[in-house]
Every structure is written in C-alpha cells, then in structure tokens.
Copies of this chain bind each other. A is one copy, B any other.
C-alpha cells in the first residue's frame, strides 16, 4: 500500500488518481477532504491525519510499504519573517514524519521538494541538481533542510528516499484564487474579469510543468529500485515568460486579457529553468504534455473554455 500524504491537495489528487490508474493500492492522507467522492470513485483509501499530530499520523502510517510526502506547511508567500515558526511548524513535523516512516519499516519516501526556490539565484541555466543551493526564502530553506534530513535517514537506516525538485506545476485541481504561481493567478483574474498585473517588461521566465507529468515522475521514483538516495529536477526544462503565458492563454481563449503594467521590483534579468537530464537518464522519465495542451486542459478544467 502506497501512502500519499497531502493526498487531497492539488498534486495529491492528481498523483493518487494516476497511481490508482496504474493498479497500485493507494491511501490518501490529508487533514481534510473537500471532495471525498473523488477518492471513493477511484477506489483509494482516505485517512484523515495531521502532520502536526503524532497520534493520527502514526495511525495513517500503519501498513504502508512506501510513501509520497507532498505536505508543505510552510508557504512561499511569507518571506523571511517567520524563520523560527517555519522550523517549528514545518521542519520538526517533517523530521518526526521521517522517524515514523523509519519506525514503521517504510521502504522508500519520495519527497516533493522545490526546484523553483531551492537553488536561489541561478548561476547557470538550465539549473542542474549540482547547482549550489542558496535559497532566498525560509520556504526554500525548509525544503533544502528536509532533503538533508532525508539523506541522514537514508545513510543511517534501511530507508531509501528520492527527492523531487519540482518546478512550477499547473493543471486540474489547482486552487486558482489565492493559489500559487503565475498560471493560477492569471486564471483567477480571468474568472474574476479583472486585469492581470504584469511586472516590468514581462520577460521574467519560469519553468512550468503540467501536473500529469509530475504524476508520472512520482510513479517512476516509486518503482525504480536503483534511484534510492537520488535527487531529481522535475520540470519542463523550458523557460516561459509572463508575456508568453498570457499570449498562449489569450490564443486559447480567443480573446484579449486585460493587463495592468506595474514597474519592475528589480532590474535583474530574472530567468529560471531546470536541467532535467538526470530524470531523463535515470528515472527514464520525461514530460509529454506540451505547454499549449497543458494550458488548454487547465483552462477547460477552470471552465474558461469548453472541454
């Protein structure tokens, strides 16, 4: 039985659905389920547990062979004003989670890390996994430190792990309003009919990955026995500018999206994209959903275009 912690969230719903479609037994674990029918329909177990609550977490862990850890209690939006709070409410529960995995004989933990924040300012593009890790935010640092505790567990105990440094995932089940990332934000503005804020020249580039491609990467990380202890960038490998995202969405919707131009907060050339050759070579994985197709499915899910 595979446990997917954070199974009721954006990545969780997609990953659980995909693993079930591959015939695996899956238990989704979450603090709450806003759509329990989805899990019943696909035949996934549902267990309510909180990463902060040892008792419920311990029950949720019972009988799992492997786990996927998607829970992230820190938030990229809080900057560096809550360093200690993030250690207390995110790092410590993650380490306690790993202790529980180890105590319960879990064979492998696949951890959702952050390809967008863990490296800091890129010193080369695309960014390989060997790039220095100098996160600029508490969120990114907590991800990095959690990876390091995973390595300590892997070295000290018979527990394997794989760290997945995911770029900017988008797709169905994403929360659009107050969601994370440009694509969610643009869709929220389209749904509200309000102008999309564009900072500076709109040429800042990010690496966007359609969520189905994230699901297949997690599946490979669970199944391939020889990738234990390794770290992989999971992204498209391509940088897309704010302008390109907006233009593609306009093209798919067949109409202009109002934009409000806002002076840039920084004059840095701001580009980020991941080198995904390690995942290609060793996970035998690569993204298969093109950017326009991924956006089309996401806009359809949001009800902005017909399915």
CB contacts (< 8 Å) of A84 on chain B: these are: 92, 95-96, 99
Query: Which chain A residues (143-196) contact chain B, with CB distance < 8 Å?
Result: 144-145, 148-149, 151-152, 155-156
CB contacts (< 8 Å) of A137 on chain B: these are: 152
Q: Are A149 and B155 in contact (CB under 8 A)?
A: no
- Give, as a whole number of angstroms, the nearest-CB distance from A2 to chain B: 25
Query: Which chain A residues (56-104) contact chain B, with CB distance < 8 Å?
Result: 80, 83-84, 87-88, 91-92, 95-96, 99
Answer whether A99 and B120 are a contact pair too, CB < 8 Å, given A145-B148, A148-B145: no
CB contacts (< 8 Å) of A83 on chain B: these are: 95, 99, 149, 152
When C-beta atoms are compared, the residue in chain B nearest to A135 turns out to be B152
Q: Are B120 and A136 in contact (CB under 8 A)?
A: no
CA distance A305 to B135 in the complex (A): 51
Q: Are A134 and B120 in contact (CB under 8 A)?
A: no
Q: Is A138 an interface residue (CB 8 A)?
A: yes
CA distance A96 to B84 in the complex (A): 7
Number of copies: 2
Pick the contact of A155: B96, B136, B156 (CB < 8 A). B136
Pick the contact of A92: B87, B95, B133 (CB < 8 A). B87
Q: Is A141 an interface residue (CB 8 A)?
A: yes
Pick the contact of A148: B80, B96, B144, B155 (CB < 8 A). B144
**Binary contact readout A110-142 vs B (1 if CB under 8 angstroms, 0 otherwise):** 000000000010000000000001111110010
CB contacts (< 8 Å) of A151 on chain B: these are: 134
Query: Which chain A residues (15-73) contact chain B, with CB distance < 8 Å?
Result: none
Answer whether A152 and B156 are a contact pair too, CB < 8 Å, given A83-B95, A99-B83: no
Listed by A's residue number, 16 A-B pairs whose Cβ atoms lie within 8 Å are A80-B152, A83-B95, A84-B95, A84-B96, A87-B87, A87-B91, A87-B92, A87-B95, A120-B155, A134-B155, A135-B152, A136-B152, A141-B149, A141-B152, A144-B148, A145-B148
Apart from the given pairs A144-B148, A145-B145, 16 other A-B contacts in the complex at a CB distance below 8 Å: A80-B156, A83-B99, A83-B149, A83-B152, A84-B92, A87-B87, A87-B91, A87-B95, A88-B92, A120-B155, A133-B148, A134-B155, A135-B152, A136-B155, A137-B152, A141-B149
Q: Which 5 A-B pairs have the closest CB atoms?
A: A145-B145, A83-B95, A80-B156, A84-B95, A141-B152
